[in-house]
Amino acid sequence: MSTTLHSFMDIFETEIIDGETSVRLNKIAIPLIQRDYAQGREYNDVTRVRTRFLNSLYNAITKDPITLDFIYGDIDEKGIMTPLDGQQRLTTLFLLHWYAARKENISKDKYSFLKMFSYETRYSARYFCAELVEFTPTFDVKLSEDIRNQAWFPFDWKNDPTISSMLVMLDAIDERFKDVPDIWNRLENKAITFYFLPIKDMGLTDELYIKMNSRGKPLTLFEHFKAELEREIRALDEKTGQKVSDRIIEKIDKAWTDLLWNYRSSSDGDAEDNIIDDEFLRYFKFVCDIICYRKGESPQSYSSDVFDLLHLYFSAENENALTNIETLELFFDCWCKIDGYTTPTEFLESFMSFTHEKNKIMVDSRRYKVDIFEDCIHAYSDKTGKTRQFPLNRIVLLYAITVYLQHQSEVAYADFVRRIRIVNNLIQNSEDEVSDRLDRNRIPAIIQAVDAIILTGKIDDTVENNFNVNQIQEEKEKAEFLASNPSRAVELFELEDHDMLKGQIGIIGLDNLSFAPRFASLFTCSWDKIDCALMATGNYGQQERNKWRYQFASKSLQLAWDELFHKSANAGFENTKNILAKLLATKQSFNDSTLDAIISDFIFQCENDSVYPWIYYYVKYPVFRPGSYGKMSNDDVANKPYMYSVMQTKTQLSQNTYMPYLKEADDAHLSRDEMGQRLVYKDVYVVCENDSYGVYKNEDNELVDTVSISQNDKGIDTEDRIIKLKEYISSSMTCK
């Protein structure tokens, strides 16, 4: 059999040689058993494929000629070619040639060969092709609209899937080529060609068609992707003289498919979906992101479409394409053979766990799997690519693991286990720093730091825009501590793994490491009781950078405790640390009863001495303790230490904010309109001052009464101001 290069124009009336015989091709007929034309379907994946194909044709017309893949077909003795493979491409070429002929007013004799292309799938598709060749559009409206409005276009043709797809494709062709001149001239000069392979000797039977088109579906996105990848790498081979393409395609078909086979799943729940397409493409995106970060850039600057990424990083036009292909190989190959383990899952479970275990790092079971590789290939991003379901912190951790896997011969497993704990601690405590926003992309520096830790054990604090500086310093101190105290590693790692600490132990410190069991005991108790016991020990709150907002604990939300226990820009971390140490020093172990005793003793002492500091109200009255984010506001603590308002949001004052003294005294009259800063009655309202309550007229805000709070020479209440207000309301507000 001969294989020859043709254009869509010259293949008609060409002598096709098959052995010792030849036949003139004078018609292409899409057979009844073939599926409908699909490149015009309006599905996300098909739209991407259509756009890709039209972009390739556009580049061929405007820049460099292109040769498409093989087209196979049987030619009978009458010269009628029945395509076995290539129907979709041939149909699009038919439509493009028609468009060029009509747009450029080409003489009829030059495009008459278009009549030799026909569909036999349905009579409607057959007649549509014939009518289209004779039709001259106005180009004043969308082509599809113009065609549908013609008398020769019956209403029921709108339901023909092939015709509908052709109309969509014609609109897409017009959108892409409407400003391109001399399309026909370029087509005549073979800007677009393909190889035609006759298969007459095979015997073109319905059975053969059924075997080759048994799915009755268009090619999958992955099938198009794989073909495009192979084409790009072969072009690179031709340019460099390398022989990479065969090796890569063989790995995709064998080793990499074997790797992903046990992870295969269907996004639509199809239990019979035995393909690894989605898994491959998600991991491919991960590798492309790493390539981008290694260049010092952010993937946010580029499209997330796999075809765009393919051309961006693996095209022969990219001077780093060979290096990028090597990266792709390394990141796939490293999971295929892991020393001492039969599967990636087995390897990952050897050093990752949902609970604290010796020589393992902890994984949040509420959000993640121990098998981080599976997390990546099943949830890398949504279909739009805009929402990252495999978050940046996991990308960094997975990257660290792959660095080790690619250097197993150089890094001992025991060293890796220690080093991945350091990386995990850094990731967990660098939430703000792990960012790839265009205006603050820190991931390139972070993965550079990860390389150093995994490969050398060095924690490099000289790299700018690295992990959180406080955590870097802590990790260096812990490394030095363990070098001198290796026997205390188990104790230290258990403390790191506590849910309230997540790798950062600064709130306890290496000097107080012996308090670790007490800390674990303390946090088996009610969080509200812990909060009160801490406050009874001293005002542990931290002032935020904005100066007017303060961080305290929460009886229900761990985020508040995280803000307190993880060193940040807040002022007062050392004070919180000292108060916690002071509390831990009081008992060998804690339970709710021991905390109740501490709380009761504190309240009794205040009331017995008639000294009521602000923290007394916080401990005694639950309304003072912010139950959500642990936020309170006070814009002048130095001069107004009692004027804390309780917030119910994380950052802003709202209608749910309130002055706790007022809420405790008379919640029913607390004004939401004034953000809980007034008790409003019929004629007057009450506000709280640092040493008194002011009563004002509603009508003109005139002060009508002052309820003074007795205080000592240090400005501390000597009477319970809430009891004082309740008594005043009881005696005075009935007549207001």
pLDDT tens-place string over residues 393-441: 999 999 999 999 999 999 999 999 999 999 999 999 999 999 888 888 9
The pLDDT tens digits of the residues spanning 717-730 come to: 999 999 999 999 99
Tell me the β-bridge partners of 437: 440
Partnered with residue 692 across adjacent β-strands are 708
pLDDT at residue 453 is higher than 90: yes
**Range 639-644 average pLDDT:** 96
At residue 14 the predicted structure's pLDDT band, cuts being 50, 70 and 90, is confident
Query: How far is 488 from 325, CA to CA, in rounded Å?
Result: 45
The arithmetic mean of pLDDT across residues 275-286, rounded, is 91
Q: How far apart are CA 160 and CA 382, in angstroms?
A: 32
**Band of pLDDT at residue 201, cut at 50, 70 and 90:** very low
Q: What is the pLDDT of residues 328-383, one digit of tens each?
A: 999 999 999 999 999 999 999 999 999 999 999 998 877 888 999 999 998 765 44
Query: Which DSSP helix (H) or strand (E) runs through 248?
Result: helix 245-253
Under the banding of pLDDT at 50, 70 and 90, the label for residue 17 is: low
Average pLDDT over residues 30-49: 66
- Parallel/antiparallel/unpaired status of strands 542-543 and 440-441: unpaired
pLDDT at site 612: 98
Give the chain's mean pLDDT.
89
Torsion sign, CA atoms 638, 644, 647, 653: negative
Q: Which residues pair with 197 in a beta bridge?
A: 72
Helices (H), ranges, 63-122:
87-103, 108-111
For 467-477, what is each residue's pLDDT tens digit?
999 999 999 99
What pLDDT does residue 384 have? 46
pLDDT in tens, 281-295: 999 999 999 999 999
**Long-range pairs for 378-382: beta carbons < 8 A, 24 or more residues apart:** 378/263, 378/265, 378/279, 378/282, 379/282, 380/282, 380/283, 380/285, 380/286, 381/282, 381/285, 381/304
Rg (CA), the chain: 37
Name 543's bridge partners. Answer: 550, 571
Range in 15-24, 338-347, 682-691 with the lowest mean pLDDT: 15-24
Quick one: which of 278, 289, 281 has its CA closest to 324?
A: 289
pLDDT at 387 over 80: no
DSSP 37: P
Q: Distance (Å, rounded) from C-alpha 656 to C-alpha 649? A: 8
* Rounded Cα distance, 193 and 469, in Å: 59
Summarised one tens digit per residue, pLDDT across range 570-617 is 999 999 999 999 999 999 999 999 999 999 999 999 999 999 999 999
Query: What's the pLDDT at 267?
Result: 44
**Higher-pLDDT residue of 271, 311:** 311
Structure tokens belonging to residue 477:
């101190």
Q: What percent of the chain lies above the pLDDT cut of 70? A: 91
Residue 465: Cβ within 10 Å count: 15
Which single residue is written with the structure tokens 């990219």? 318
Report whether pLDDT(216) > 80: no
**Of 75-84, 109-118, 345-354, the least confident:** 75-84
pLDDT band at 41 (very low <50, low <70, confident <90, very high): low
Judge whether residue 195 has pLDDT over 50. Answer: yes
Residues 496/425, Cβ–Cβ less than 8 Å? yes
pLDDT at 226 over 90: no
Q: What is the DSSP letter of 717?
A: B
pTM of the shown model: 0.74
Asked if residues 505 and 468 have their Cβ atoms less than 8 Å apart, the reply is no
Per-residue pLDDT at 202: 45
Residue 208's CB is within 10 A of a number of other CB atoms, namely: 15
pLDDT for the residue 380 = 67
Q: Is the pLDDT of residue 270 over 50?
A: no
Closest CA to 552 of 625, 485, 602: 625
Residue 682: pLDDT band with limits 50, 70, 90 = very high
The encoded tokens of residue 569 equal 């820009």
Residue 440 — φ and ψ, nearest 5°? -155, 60
